[in-house]
A and B are shown apart, each in its own frame.
Chain A
Amino acid sequence: MELETLITKFQQKDVKAFESLYAMYNDSIFGVINTIVKNEDIATEILQDVFIKAWNKSVDYNTRKGRFFTWLLNIARNAAIDKTRSKSFKNAQQNLDVDFFVHSIENNDSLDEKTNAIGIKKYVSQLAEKCKQIIEYLYFKGYTQKETSETLEIPLGTIKTRNRNCINELRKMLKV
């Protein structure tokens, strides 16, 4: 089924469409959340909340606002970041900023069992350090161009092109 049809049905409260969308995005959304909170149990809870929120606020989504995946990604990142700012979370977790998404992938044992994921560890490790960082901030942390430029101390004008080059690199590795 076309993604657009699926989304429309989902907005009309079709449970089957909801399930299909969940199957398409749950790994990505969980990965992003877990990369931020670095705790599987907490990440699982947030994953539930994200999809509950998506269901309840489905009418808020509009194709003109962006990709559906991006919309979900935004909800997930906001929920995960909110969690890391909560007092209970701060007390339990430490040194969150040391790890990058690359570590999530490199330390991901379950990837070894998936045939379609073979090699991603290697490729990701091969990404240039500046690419690892820019991808981390733009996709996993949801930073704006300005925030990314300030954090990485690179000119605002180069964010777009540098990121494009990094994603091209990634696409070559993943052959998409």
Chain B
Amino acid sequence: MDPKEYIASGILELYVAGALSEKENAEVHAMMLKYPEVTQEVLEIEAAILNLTAATSSKDTSDVFEVVKEKLQLTDTDETKVIPLQKPRSLFRYAGWAAAVILGCGLIYSVLKTGDLQSQIDIVKTEKEALKEQIYKANSDLTAATELLSVLRTKDIISVPLGGQTVSPTSYAKVYWDKKANNVYLDLQGLPDPPEGKVYQIWSLTLNPLTPTSLGVIEDFSADKDKVFDLKNTNESQAFGITLEPTGGSESPTMEQLYTLGVVASNP
């Protein structure tokens, strides 16, 4: 189509008005691309309409854009992304890389730091467990001591001091005999640690005739801190004696190795 005729037809004025169909719009657009004079005509018509319509504006609305921006939650930082200048752009790119590197380092650092902290936590946890155990042990030691004390204070308990004998004159021991419960508590603090391969054996004795009955051997003498032991005693004991015997104990006491001996006082 001849561009002059096309322009003269008045279709371009309707194009700017928006009064054409979609098909007609596409046609005008094609003509504009083909003929610069058609494009020029459209621009001039548009300028005239812009002028005319702008003249009907009774107030300055430039500040309304701020409201529009606010309502769309647009910030000026968005602008920096699209500024078409080369220099700041590359600067921003480097800044981006720098930020990424810093972030990466930060991440690695915090991972390492986390590992560190984790092992520290583990150590603290172990320490805490150990402390708990100590407290538990102290508590049970205390309970044991309290129990022992309450036993020793019982009215029915018979206290028998055992004195040192020829083989070890400085040794001493004490036997607390709970006749009702058939228990004896032995306080062996006054005895030396038995030599290797030897143990103390505790004997209940009846006099006239002298008859020893073994109450048992003290296997863990050295390991025991408070040196207080308890054994069963169902005998009508008149005296208690402690001898040093080979590990495992003996059938009858080795009298040459009698460390301590004591007679039950209340015995009639």
Where the two chains meet, the residues of A that have a C-beta atom closer than 8 Å to any C-beta of B are 9, 12-19, 22-23, 25-32, 34-35, 40, 44, 47-48, 51-52, 55-56, 63-67, 69-71, 73-74, 101, 104-105, 107-111, 117, 120-121, 124, 135, 138-140, 142-145, 148, 159-164, 167, 170-171, 174, 176
In-complex Cβ contact of A117 among B42, B55, B61 (8 A): B55
Residues of B within 8 A of A25 (CB): 50
Give the distance to chain B from A170, nearest Cβ to Cβ, in Å. 5
* Complex alpha-carbon distance, A162 and B45, angstroms: 15
Interface size class of B (residues with CB under 8 A): 35 or more
Give the distance to chain A from B9, nearest Cβ to Cβ, in Å. 6
Tell which of A15, A16, A40, A74 has the most Cβ of chain B within 10 Å: A15
Contact A74 to B48, CB < 8 A, known contacts A52-B72, A161-B10:
no
In-complex Cβ contact of B64 among A47, A55, A148 (8 A): A47
Give the distance to chain B from A173, nearest Cβ to Cβ, in Å. 9
Mask, B37-66, CB within 8 Å of A = 1, is 000001011111111111111111110110
Is the CB–CB distance between A15 and B58 below 8 Å? no
Contact A34 to B56, CB < 8 A, known contacts A15-B74, A67-B42:
yes
* Complex alpha-carbon distance, A151 and B89, angstroms: 56
| Closest residue of A by beta carbon distance from B17 | A138
* Complex alpha-carbon distance, A159 and B9, angstroms: 10
Is the CB–CB distance between A31 and B54 below 8 Å? yes
In-complex Cβ contact of A163 among B14, B20, B61, B81 (8 A): B14
Contact A35 to B22, CB < 8 A, known contacts A19-B65, A164-B13:
no
* Complex alpha-carbon distance, A71 and B72, angstroms: 20
Tell which of B53, B54, B61, B82 has the most Cβ of chain A within 10 Å: B53
Interface residues of B in 1-32 (CB under 8 A from A): 8-11, 13-20, 22, 25-26, 28-29
10 pairs, CB–CB < 8 Å, chain A vs chain B: A19-B65, A22-B65, A31-B57, A35-B56, A47-B64, A52-B68, A63-B29, A107-B58, A139-B49, A142-B17
Is the CB–CB distance between A66 and B48 below 8 Å? no
